[in-house]
Structure 1
Amino acid sequence: MTPRFKYTRASQGDIQQLGSILEQCFVMSSGDSKIYAKGIGLENFRVIYREDIVAGGLAILPMGQWWGGQRVPMAGIAAVGIAPEYRGDGAAIALIQHTLQDISEQEIPISVLYPATQRLYRKAGYEQAGTSCVWEISAESIQIRQQPLPVEPIIPKNQTFFRELYQQQAQLTHGYLDRHPAIWQGLMRTSDSETLYSYLIGDKDQPQGYIIFTQERTKDDTILRIRDWVMLSNAAVQSFWSFIANHRSQIDKVLWKSSVVDALTLLLPEHSATIKNQDRWMLRIVDVCKALEARGYPSGVDAELHLEVQDDLLTANNGKFILSVANCKGKVTQGGKGELQLDIRGLAPLYTGLFTPRQLQLTGKLNATETALLTATQIFASESPWMVDFF
């Protein structure tokens, strides 16, 4: 760690200084940082000092993330901001390194963030681990008319109702969050010019999904922008598309977030939806043993993988490990043959399944015997990881 920097939990006075830094970093309106800080909670902010002056800071969002049907405790990193006069001075990497030590002491096994720059976070052991895509389609091109389920308006402030349905989808979706309250608050927050619309899909006593969206008029188009959605059955997906198609007389374009290969589009009559934007989020394994044991694994896999991991920052992760998988669970013991060798960065996309072991070997992220490659492919087989949320 760089000794000239001091890392600490944020005080009330620190938040005021950090708020000014964040408003400048993220081009926020004056006062927006206070609203953001209130939603996150003072206890979740960290700051870094340079010569007794707040040089920057960030927020740690305690959440969970679903991997293989199991909730893994996760620390989401958000609002990383460094004052302009301290950029390039080592403040950013010192802040991230101290934060990872902090997370490790809290015994949280993984951390996730959306990078403004990948180079900084790769230095701290993060690597690309999943996607979040914004899809776009013209309302006129949907052409789905059959609606097997009712779609009825529901009060958007009924967050408990939404959370219960969301969790059903989340635990089945590789990479989805067990959301922090601040993310739920952000989904429901609107500006003075926006109206939030929310609809239940299915009967109230047996709901099969929901949709939350806003509408806006631009110079060229009217846009229906979906903020959040849950669909738990084929009938729900058909009803969703039919409901959206019924907006075609007023709406030109529809935008929603999904995976890079979106199953919802399989119901469309033509390949008319396109990816408008794609983000890749990054993950850091903070505790190798806890992370590998906390996630779930494919049914029917009974295998043993011998790993050798290198971690220059969190040295407890260094060494050889045996991952034994059976009955959808993993057990880690020290030792083994080290037949699959990789650093902590290479372990992240292997853990999430963003890339196959063979792809990771091709790009120099790991080195393994042919047998170890095949075993790792079995163990980490999954759908492509993604999430609908940005933080």
Structure 2
Amino acid sequence: MIPLYQYSSFSNSQEIDRLGEIMRQCFGSSPSDWERYVNLLSTENFRILRQGDRIIAGLAIYQMGQWFGGQNVPLAGIAAVGVAPEARGKGAARELLTKTIQELYSSQIAISALYPATQALYRQVGYEQGGSYCKWELPIASIQLKERDLSMYKVSLRERHLFENTYNQQAQINNGNLARHSAIWTQILESEKEKEIYAYLIGSETAPEGYIIFTQNETTIEIRDWVLLNAWAARRLWTFLADHRSMIETVIWRGASVNPFTLLLPEQTAKITSQMIWLLRIVNVPLALSLRGYPTQLEAELHLDVRDDLIAANNGKFCLKVSQGRGEVSQGGKGYFQIDIRSLASLYTSFLSPQQQQRLGYLQTTSEALETANLIFFGDRPWMADFF
């Protein structure tokens, strides 16, 4: 008997074209958009679902990393999940995601993240809210800073290594920031709409203390990417933006729900205008827990009992031993901390505290294990500045 669905990667150019037709209808994109997207990610990073001899669904996978507790954890970013309209409502999307997660587990990928069009579908396969992605707006006239001690240098977008090195210094101290896929860097540094992109380094040209990459129109500066490694760089950048006030009214950026560098502004004029919550899935429980970073002075054990309906090897009891900032996971233990795979994702990222999870009814545990978990997963609220 032929299975209802067959999951695979592309085998020929006709399959690429067929998935492109589905994606264009799902997302309202053009043929050139699809061609550029395939070239950015390369064909081996797409998966398709067939019903008989027809391709009815597909998705893209960004193989990269995500920083948690100061450690880079192998991540599969899932994007462009699309199902042909005539095949919807029959479980195709869930089957596609289930097969993808099982493949990721077999490939020793620890975690997976995505931006949901709908939470219900992704929760069915173990994803849960993991961190924030916020759009900010700031009236430039309200900045009112005049600090120019640091130099700023206009640089070529081809100086990618300078941006990457500086970005990595910031990313590793922020839960949820990406160890970026090359496609994300390309999307930042290359304009697909003939719009000019400007880039400036802050401080030294060889060891910058920050940078900004942006576009502008008649009234708005939109920051595509920026890094600020200290308060001096932040003050210099706010001043740089304020120096555009004769023409520009507003600056826009994307990032965390709390930006500490806005405290350097005289008033609370920077506002969040929209927010999305990205989702995370723990693909491999022992691998994810062992690769994450933890508080360096903490010596502790947490005895977990995990439930996962999709990956059988994630079910059962695990003992997490934390020492000198690293975790070691073994099977077995006392199972005092009972949690399902979805709730473990929000705990893992530090998006929700153990106490918040307990109040929601998402875990059962002892008071001692609850306090241990609070120490182990303590950290800044997770966020991303990148959409994929």
Q: Which amino acid aligns with 1:307?
A: L
How far off its partner does 1:257 sit?
1.4
- From 350, 358, 368, the counterpart of 2:365: 368
Report the equivalent of 1:184.
185
Q: Identity over aligned residues, as a percent?
A: 49
Where do 5+ consecutive residues of structure 2 fail to align? none
Report the equivalent of 2:234.
237
How far off its partner does 1:50 sit?
1.2
Equivalent residues in 2 for 1:302-317, closer than 5 Å: 302-317=299-314
Residues 1:7 and 2:3 are matched in the alignment? no
How far off its partner does 1:205 sit?
2.7
Residues 1:136 and 2:133 are matched in the alignment? no
If the length of structure 2 is used for normalisation, what is the TM-score?
A: 0.98
State whether residues 148 and 238 of structure 1, in contact with CA within 8 Å, keep that contact through their aligned partners in structure 2.
Answer: no
How far off its partner does 1:172 sit?
1.4
SS state at 2:222 partner: strand
Q: Aligned equivalents of 2:26 and 2:146: distance in 1?
A: 46
Q: Aligned equivalents of 1:205 and 1:117: distance in 2?
A: 44
Report the equivalent of 2:73.
72
How far off its partner does 1:103 sit?
0.5
Spell out, residue by residue over 1:60-119, the C-alpha distance to the aligned partner (whole angstroms, 9 max, x if none): 111011111111111110111111111111110000000001101111111111111110
SS state at 2:148 partner: coil
Report the equivalent of 1:386.
383
State whether residues 129 and 281 of structure 1, in contact with CA within 8 Å, keep that contact through their aligned partners in structure 2.
Answer: yes
How far off its partner does 1:277 sit?
1.1
Report the equivalent of 1:297.
294
Q: Aligned equivalents of 2:51 and 2:22: distance in 1?
A: 14
SS state at 1:31 partner: helix
Q: Which amino acid aligns with 2:120?
A: R
How far off its partner does 1:320 sit?
0.6
Q: Which moved more, 1:200-209 or 1:66-75?
A: 200-209
Equivalent residues in 2 for 1:120-199, closer than 5 Å: 120-199=121-200
Q: Which moved more, 1:187-196 or 1:163-172?
A: 187-196
Q: Aligned equivalents of 2:188 and 2:26: distance in 1?
A: 22
Report the equivalent of 2:87.
86
Q: 1:191 to 1:334 in 2, by over 3 A?
A: closer
Report the equivalent of 1:327.
324
Q: Which amino acid aligns with 1:92?
A: A
Report the equivalent of 1:285.
282
Q: Aligned equivalents of 1:164 and 1:365: distance in 2?
A: 39
Q: Aligned equivalents of 2:58 and 2:34: distance in 1?
A: 13
SS state at 2:31 partner: coil
Spell out, residue by residue over 1:125-149, the C-alpha distance to the aligned partner (whole angstroms, 9 max, x if none): 0000011111111000111111221
- How many pairs were matched up? 386
Report the equivalent of 2:220.
223
Report the equivalent of 2:59.
58
How far off its partner does 1:193 sit?
4.7
Q: Which amino acid aligns with 1:301?
A: L
Q: Aligned equivalents of 1:63 and 1:70: distance in 2?
A: 13
Report the equivalent of 2:347.
350
State whether residues 320 and 334 of structure 1, in contact with CA within 8 Å, keep that contact through their aligned partners in structure 2.
Answer: yes
Q: Aligned equivalents of 1:87 and 1:322: distance in 2?
A: 41
SS state at 1:58 partner: strand
Q: Aligned equivalents of 1:380 and 1:48: distance in 2?
A: 37
State whether residues 125 and 284 of structure 1, in contact with CA within 8 Å, keep that contact through their aligned partners in structure 2.
Answer: yes
If the length of structure 1 is used for normalisation, what is the TM-score?
A: 0.97
Equivalent residues in 2 for 1:101-112, closer than 5 Å: 101-112=102-113
Q: Which amino acid aligns with 1:138?
A: P
Q: Aligned equivalents of 2:319 and 2:372: distance in 1?
A: 12
Q: Which amino acid aligns with 2:5?
A: F
How far off its partner does 1:189 sit?
2.2
Q: Which amino acid aligns with 2:205?
A: K
State whether residues 353 and 382 of structure 1, in contact with CA within 8 Å, keep that contact through their aligned partners in structure 2.
Answer: yes
Consecutive aligned runs of 4 or more in structure 1 exceeding 2 Å deviation? none
State whether residues 209 and 236 of structure 1, in contact with CA within 8 Å, keep that contact through their aligned partners in structure 2.
Answer: yes
Report the equivalent of 1:29.
30
Equivalent residues in 2 for 1:90-101, closer than 5 Å: 90-101=91-102
Q: 1:261 to 1:363 in 2, by over 3 A?
A: same
CA RMSD of aligned residues (A): 1.1
Q: Aligned equivalents of 1:193 and 1:160: distance in 2?
A: 23
State whether residues 231 and 261 of structure 2, in contact with CA within 8 Å, keep that contact through their aligned partners in structure 1.
Answer: no
Q: Aligned equivalents of 2:194 and 2:44: distance in 1?
A: 32
